[in-house]
Structure 1
Amino acid sequence: MDAKIMNINNKELIKKSIQTIQKLSEKLDEVKIMHVCGSHEHTICKYGIRDVLPDNITVVPGPGCPVCVTTQKEIDKAMYLAEQGYTIATLGDMYRVPGSKKSLMQLQSEGADVKIVYGIGDAVKLAKKQDEKVVFVAIGFETTAPTTAAELLNKPENFYILNSHRQTPPVMGFLLGGGTSLNLDGFICPGHVSTITGLKPYYDPCKTYHAPMVVAGFEPIDVMASIVMILKQLVNGEAKVENEYTRGVREEGNVIAQKIMNKVFEPADVAWRGFPVIKDGGMKLREEFKKYDVHENIDVPDIKETINKACICSEILRGEKLPHDCKLFGKTCDPMNPVGSCMVSDEGTCRIFYKYSKFR
């Protein structure tokens, strides 16, 4: 076994990192660091990392859950298509996210043809076995977009996608540029996304906003080390992209996955839940693949969202509030009865806080 992996959660290393963070914090004023990864939030909550940070060092969760950032309008479109008789294939998390009136799970109980699949491959197989058109709700960041692209390159029949893929680095730049009321000082960059993208997409926002960006793995020492690296940059007045997760992320990323993704998709300006339209914040199908875009083949009306004003998912996704700030959290909103998207997915901030709150 690789020695680096064997020592990954060495208690002495973790203790040393805590001491280093404390010493660095003494040279800094208030620091706010954001991450955009549900797996990072799991690690932070599970191991109580926030509890050992100095009072002037804050790590806030951002829009790191693809289910959570999918807009209510997109969910309502999926339900509209289900009501029109199309087979909707969706991942399990999306199945339970509330739309304006109900969820796909509720529609299924009323007789709509909604199928839970493990991925787009299962949805394509489903389309081969039936006459009814299958619409796959394609969500996710750069980690899942290559799988969607790979299936479309195989030219499936009887098949459309409701495209809800998004790109992560543009929203990070948007947040640094005033997209949140917080004054962010740096980012812990997402490990999974970075295995695909590599480091290059972070260079521009890092330089433009003079904000340290460190790609991190998912063990406690990974997160602690990334905080140390960001604080060292701030103390030295630096702003650069660094890679803590060297065992999983290469400078160039996964070039093959990038080529597949870029052959099918191109950048697009799209809205995220809780955000306005973000330049290059999403992906759209290139011209030769538009025959798989449900909007190009089916008349889907413009649907006006009806947002539950008591839910603060939008503020949570922007890092402005935490789940405990919500009056619904753990009361009328819990994993069995989610009011907002952040309580549904295992990657959602509210779901994570709810899971680990019993240990606090």
Structure 2
Amino acid sequence: MNLIGFVNALLVNIGIIAGLNDPQYKVTPVGFLNMLMENPATTQISNLSQLQQGFDREIKVRYLQRGLESSVTDRDDCDTPVGAVWKETAIGAPSYSKIGLFIPDSDFRKYQEEATRTVSVGNPSAPLMLGLYNLMLTQIQAMLQKIDNNLVSAQATKFGINVVTGANTATAVNFSTTINQTDGIIKILADFEANEMSGSPIIVGNGAVNNWQMAQNVKVGVDNGGFGASKLKYYNDFKTATLWGANHFGVFAPGTVGLVDYNKNVGAFAGEKGGSIFFTIPIPVQLANGTLTTFKLDAQLKYEDCPIYNDGGDKVADRGWKLILSKYYGLFNLPNDAFAAGDRLEGVNGSLRYVGTNV
């Protein structure tokens, strides 16, 4: 059984029919997932893809804790009490999400011949290929929502200590119509500095902070207090209302939280095996900043060679093709012990939690 022709045609056809710049077929992830893709924290691991190659690999990061003032003495001697103590943390134990399509022979017969002749694919004479792509994208959108949900849920327990409060619970802030020294945005910036975070704050959340950000977006000049529009990165995610709390939001330092994704159907694990063919498929994604990228999924194409019946004897599916889309992924956070016990930043991991109001 030769499945290669269909799979190769499918991979080529998606590019021919839509392409990365076709606005009708972009899959836009929301909120937290969008932030993780737009602000990658693991890109400096240059050999990550080579380390994976379809294998189950736990990739670890080694780190040292910065020195403590208490280790410094005023005595001139040859004692060397400070040594290199390396610590390790995994950059993400993979989660798994999957969704599948079934294409009955009654539909597939209409374009199977076209699928093996890639030169004419994308032509209006093969509209069902476009229909397959549309159907696949609806399922991919659902899976991206599920992945985002799992990542938001994982982050709920991974917020670090805020040195200003000494806790990792949500700090209450208020976004007023006129900015002053006690306003929520000033509090966030002050906390960001107090926790010695570098770069520009990245915000993900819902409710009050979203309303405040929309007010910034409609500013065309300075407000009555003399303040212009905020330039902070903000990502709205409705799932945070359920998983973190209504009006809750997170503030992240660049590089301290990231998406780690894995592909299984690569290298020696790709190709035709038994009655299935295993491959990867890149999905065009538009980020919040307008940048185009791809999100690569594992795919399995399998032919169901017998009709499927339920316990009552009723046919529930004809002979046809199964297309199974899946993804392995994980969430990386700066470890909670990145700073040593006794350090003023003990427990800080670059992610702070807040709850906002608009009064």
TM tier relative to shorter chain: under 0.3
- The TM-score with structure 1 as length reference comes to 0.25
Looking at both structures, which has the greater relative contact order when contacts are Cα pairs under 8 Å and sequence separation is at least 6? 2
More strand by share: 2
Q: Which has the larger radius of gyration?
A: 2
More helix by share: 1
